[in-house]
Amino acid sequence: MKNKLFIVLTVLLGACTGDFLEIKPKGQTFYDALTTKQGVNLLLTGAYADIDGVNGTVGDGWASAVTNWVFGGVSSDDAYKGSNAGDQNAINAVEGFFADAQNLYVSQHWTPLYDGVVRCNDVLKALKAATDMSDTEKKQAEGQARFLRAHYYFELTKVHGKVPYIDENTTNPTVVPNDHILWPEMEADFKMAADALPARWSDKGRATKWAAKTYLARIYMFQEKFQLAKDLLQDVYSNGGYSLMPSYEQNYLIKTINNAESIFEIQYAVNDGFPNSPNAGLGESICGPHFIGSSGFYLPTHSLVSAYRVDANGLPLLDDTYSADDILPFATNGSSVLYKGPVDPRLDHTVGRPGVPFLDWGIHQGLSWVRDPSNAGPYNNKKNMFLKSEQGALSNTTGVRVFPNANNYRVFKLSNVIIWLAECEAEVGSLQNATTLVNLIRNRAKNSNVVRFADGTPAANYKVEPYPTTFPTKEYALQAIRYESRLEFAMEGIRFFELVRWGIVGPVMNNYLAVEGTVLPYNKGKVFNVGQHEIWPIPQRQIDISVKEGKSVLTQNPGY
């Protein structure tokens, strides 16, 4: 049904072109045909269809994927581009901070997300004229459309900064300036959604009251409105009815999608009658491991792996220093030397390491499992992977892509709420509460299943313990919380945006690039420029077509 609706919507809504701001308002006949309950629901389905970042008209959705694996992952110290040196050169520019306004991925990030905005606005326009819907039905449809619109604007804002605000009342998008960050508009949409939406739906994947409150808190945190965020996060934590899964890896398996910890996740469907399973995370379709025949993009960094080292007491090494041989030498012959020191068990639920079992695929075979180790090291990503026993049934079997699968992307989990609430407590509340919240996450890690060899022996010297005493200072608490965030949410596409939000992206990335330049030659000489590289350009094409009285309306970001 989803795919049939998508085909209808493609005809009704029209394909979104690369010249997004040239799209003109649709005629009255179009809206008359959709100003019914059935039409509104059809339009709303179309608005949801873009949420994975893939609208079927601009590339393959790699740039705009909801997982943010390019702009939130590869641009950070968590992930390499992967593949080989010349593949998808536009990502090389993002990873190395030399992307310009003509960069293909910069453009292809922008357009699908604005397509999502247009679809949400179409819902809101049709709602105004619909006469066969109850007030409750209208309110809930409006809440979902505004939730989705704010989501699309948040994704645009994180990457491009100031973007033009186009709503259901905009008549000429080409003359709308990008003169402010759209925090007020996003806040208003999420507030309305939180008031309008139910706590749960019978069908999975719809926006809910608790998802809207979590998103609103996220918006507040980006603005350093920590007390407002704290109140919302406490509400979600105390009253949302969510609970941590018993074992960490259960948040990353197909068999445990839509679990008790999940607040909002993108629903993936595989082998549903369309080549390449376009509803199965097509935006990550090139991110599967090379050994299954995928393209081998989005691989964990040496820095990330080293971050999971712990001291003799099972606590993280908060100095965040590492060298090229901390965990595993980059052996050219493919041999591996397992690190014997203690590590956080979340490491081997996140990263495929040579010599360690890789889910049910057997022992990771080292460099032969990576497409080009000289370009991306010896590791694979585990979090978006399917089991060997699920191959074919829950992974794509049509077209050319072998990696699309039914493993949903979890946008918000209770663990996110707990870490963010701990941060707010450290900023404006209680250090004791902050410590307690972080220890909830660390105790879950301590009690989680560990990766084992076939004989039942743990695959590494796993050790993780809670903090034994209250964080002594606000500064220490924030350092510990930020480090915990990296360990808990690595390879989930949020790392770069968090570094920017915390105001530490410059020193972290420049330290990372300096060390990585001694490990992988292509990183040598790369520099992060504070005040420029926190965001990427406005696509030049959009500036060129946004003209009023002979002058460009859109303003380019500093440094581009």
- β-bridge pairing 409-413 and 547-548: unpaired
Burial 124-150 (b: 16+ CB within 10 A, else e): bbbbeebeebeeeebbbbbbbbbbbbb
| 8: confidence class by pLDDT, cuts 50, 70, 90 | very low
**Amino acid 274: pLDDT:** 83
For 126-145, the pLDDT digits (tens) are 999 999 999 999 999 999 99
**Amino acid 55: pLDDT:** 75
**Amino acid 491: pLDDT:** 99
**Amino acid 333: pLDDT:** 43
Tell me if 128 sits within 8 A of 62, measured CB to CB: no
**What is the C-alpha R_g of the chain?**
23
| 240: confidence class by pLDDT, cuts 50, 70, 90 | very high
For 264-277, the pLDDT digits (tens) are 999 999 998 888 88
For 455-486, the pLDDT digits (tens) are 999 999 999 999 999 999 999 999 999 999 99
- β-bridge pairing 547-548 and 551-552: antiparallel
CA 154, CA 165: separation in Å to the nearest integer? 12
Nearest alpha carbon to residue 404 among 255, 491, 287: 287
In the predicted model, is pLDDT for residue 535 greater than 50? yes
Rounded to the nearest integer, the mean pLDDT of the chain is 92
Residue 74 DSSP symbol: I
**Amino acid 17: pLDDT:** 45
| 400: confidence class by pLDDT, cuts 50, 70, 90 | confident
Secondary structure E strands in 376-515: 380-381, 409-413
Nearest alpha carbon to residue 117 among 151, 140, 92: 151
CA 347, CA 463: separation in Å to the nearest integer? 11
Nearest alpha carbon to residue 303 among 330, 322, 329, 331: 322
Give all domains of the chain, ordered by start, each with its CATH number.
Answer: 1-197+531-560 (1.25.40.890)
Residue 73 DSSP symbol: I
In the predicted model, is pLDDT for residue 517 greater than 90? no
Residue 240: count of CB within 10 angstroms of its CB: 20
**Side chain identity, residue 250:** Q
Tell me if 161 sits within 8 A of 71, measured CB to CB: no
For 289-342, the pLDDT digits (tens) are 999 999 999 999 999 999 999 999 999 999 866 665 555 544 444 445 578 889
Tell me if 110 sits within 8 A of 102, measured CB to CB: no
Nearest alpha carbon to residue 370 among 423, 334, 398: 334
409 beta partners: 266
Q: What percent of the chain has pLDDT over 90?
A: 82
**Amino acid 1: pLDDT:** 36
Q: What percent of the chain has pLDDT over 70?
A: 91
**Amino acid 31: pLDDT:** 66
Beta carbons within 8 Å of 11's beta carbon, 6+ residues apart:
none
For 190-237, the pLDDT digits (tens) are 999 999 999 999 999 999 999 999 999 999 999 999 999 999 999 999
Tell me if 284 sits within 8 A of 69, measured CB to CB: yes
**Amino acid 326: pLDDT:** 53
Tell me if 293 sits within 8 A of 401, measured CB to CB: no
Task: Give 3-state DSSP helix, strand, coil % of the chain, rounded to 5.
Answer: 45, 5, 50
- Of residues 268 and 59, more confidence is placed in 268
CA 395, CA 401: separation in Å to the nearest integer? 10
352 beta partners: 380
Tell me if 553 sits within 8 A of 547, measured CB to CB: yes
In the predicted model, is pLDDT for residue 15 greater than 50? no
First to last CA, the chain: 44
